[in-house]
Amino acid sequence: MAQTRDPILVPDISEHEIVLRQGFTGADLLLFGAILDPRGGRAQGQYDVVVVLKGPSEQIRLREKERWLGLIWVNAESSDFRSVPSYYALASSRPIDDIVDERTALIFELGLDYLQLSPSGSIDPNEQARFTAGLVDLRQRQGLFAEYETGVQVSEGVLYRARLPIPSNVIAGRYVAETFAIADGRVITSATSEVQVFKEGFERRVEEEANNNALLYGLLAVGLSVLMGWAAGRLFALV
C-alpha cells in the first residue's frame, strides 16, 4: 500500500533586508508561499496556515511602579525575563484556538498567550503571571507584539499570503519567519525564512561607538546634553 507523504512548504518574503535609516517610519512585510505535494502539484487536503515572525531575543527586567505616600511614583517589585522576543507577530488563517489545542500552541508558541518568556528568580506564580501579562500588554502598546486572526489568506488550498507591519521602533538583528501548515489540529510541516534588519550610515556609526566605546560614548552624550542645556538657557535669557 502506498504511503501518504506530508506536503512541503515553499515560503518567501517580500523583503529579506530592512534598513533602519534616519526617518524610518516602519514597513509592511509580505509573507507568502505555497503548500505543495512532494511528488509535484498541489497538496491533497485542507490546511490551516500560521505565520510567526520573531525578532532577536532580549533579557528584560520589568519593574512595577507604585505611588509612595500618595505623592510620587517609585519602583516597587520587579521580575526578570531571560528570553523575550524584541518583536513578535502572528497571523493565522483562523483563530488559533480553532486550529490547535493548548498543548500544541505551547510547544510551537502559537499566540501571545503561549509565549515562553523564560522568567527567572523565585516569585509567586500568580505574581509571575501578572508580570508576564503586563509585559505582553506593554509590548502590544508599543506595537512590538501583535496577533492577527484570519490574517492569512489561503487561495485554492495552495497559495497563502499575509502582511505583517514592522514598526519604526524595532531593533536591528536577525528576524525569523516560521510558517506552519496544520491539519486536524496537528502541525504537518513547517518552514523558515529570515529577514535581516540593520542600520547604516550615521545611525550605524552611533550604535557601533555605543557598543565599542561605551565610556567615551556616555561622556560625550552627557557633555552634549549639558552643552545643549546651557545653549538653551542662554537663548531664552536673550529673548
Per-residue pLDDT of 159-181, as tens digits, reads: 999 999 999 999 999 999 999 99
Sheet of 57-68: strands edge to edge?
57-68, 72-85, 119-120
Question: Does 213 have pLDDT greater than 70?
Answer: no
Query: Confidence class of residue 209 from pLDDT cuts 50, 70 and 90?
Result: very low
Q: What percent of the chain has pLDDT over 90?
A: 52
Query: Confidence class of residue 130 from pLDDT cuts 50, 70 and 90?
Result: confident
* C-alpha 126 chain-centroid distance: 25
Residue carrying C-alpha cell 484556538: 97
Long-range Cβ contacts of 18-23 (<8 Å, 24+ apart)? 18/166, 18/195, 18/196, 18/197, 18/198, 19/198, 19/199, 19/200, 20/170, 20/172, 20/197, 20/198, 20/199, 20/200, 20/203, 21/199, 21/200, 21/201, 21/203, 22/201, 22/202, 22/203
Lowest mean pLDDT of 11-15, 52-56, 124-128, name the range.
124-128
Over the chain, what is the mean pLDDT? 83
What does the pLDDT read at residue 1?
A: 38
Of residues 224 and 167, which shows the higher confidence score?
Answer: 167
Strands 8-13, 27-36: parallel, antiparallel or unpaired by DSSP? antiparallel
Lowest mean pLDDT of 9-18, 71-80, 112-121, name the range.
71-80
Q: How far apart are the first and last CA of the chain?
A: 91
Q: How far is CA 77 from CA 62, 65, 123, 127, 140, in A?
A: 9, 8, 10, 10, 22
Region 53-74: mean pLDDT is 78
Does this model's pTM top 0.85? no
